Structure 1
Amino acid sequence: MIFDVHGLTFVTDFFVICSGFNKRQLQSVANEIELKLHSYGIHWVGIEGYSEARWILMDYGDVVVHLFDRDMRHFYDLELLWGDARKLPWKDNT
């Protein structure tokens, strides 16, 4: 899911929220995001939670990516927390 949080928070403009099934998958998704964005000259400001891989937060400034395992996504329920934000459609441009 992509949330346009511009105007709702000063931290970022967009949240990308997705889930994975296990630690290895979440770390692989994080690695692929970093490789793909790196190829465009985009680098993260910070990353948290990679080792544990239950909630990986990748901060790219204007965009913050949240990669959750199922339990953490349910527990933190960012979709409810940011429910007033406009939801943007996901476009697969690969």
Structure 2
Amino acid sequence: MTEHTLLQMAYQAAEEKKAEDIVVLNMEGISLLADYFVICSGNSDRQVQAIARELIEKSNEAGNEVKSVEGFDSARWILVDLGDVVAHVFHKDERSYYNLERLWREAPEMEI
């Protein structure tokens, strides 16, 4: 699976679970963690977990190994490491506090 296919899959998985304010940052040359960040929000703990579950399920169905998942139980900020793509699924109340878009403001935003 190419990184662009993985990126599209992650974006669509978030969309399918009605994630809000989905942003994709191109991290190539900026971070060693991943080439792309997908950042999105859910309105409740259950929705945040549902978005993360969908990301994991779609990744597994595509034959892509999920490297790690952090924060699932608390459902405030779930990080799903898909390899070249890292998804950050925030509870809407936490997203503005951490403001990853500002933290990584040198990363260009991409349209999917």
TM-score, scaled relative to structure 1: 0.91
Structure 1 letter corresponding to 2:34: T
Counterpart for residue 11 of structure 1: 33
Relative contact order, higher structure (CA 8 A, sep 6+): 1
Cα offset, 1:9, TM superposition:
1.0
Structure 2 letter corresponding to 1:54: R
Moved over 3 A (4+): none
Counterpart for residue 50 of structure 1: 72
Matches within 5 A, 1:23-38: 23-38=45-60
Residue aligned with 1:6, SS: coil
- Root-mean-square deviation (CA, aligned residues, Å) is 0.8
State the identity %: 41
For structure 2, the 5+ residue unaligned runs are: 1-22
User: What is the rounded CA distance, in whole Å, between the counterparts of 2:48 and 2:92 in structure 1?
Assistant: 11
Matches within 5 A, 1:75-94: 75-90=97-112
TM-score, scaled relative to structure 2: 0.77
Aligned residues: 90
Contact preservation (8 Å) 2:59, 2:82 = no
Counterpart for residue 83 of structure 2: 61
For structure 1, the 5+ residue unaligned runs are: none
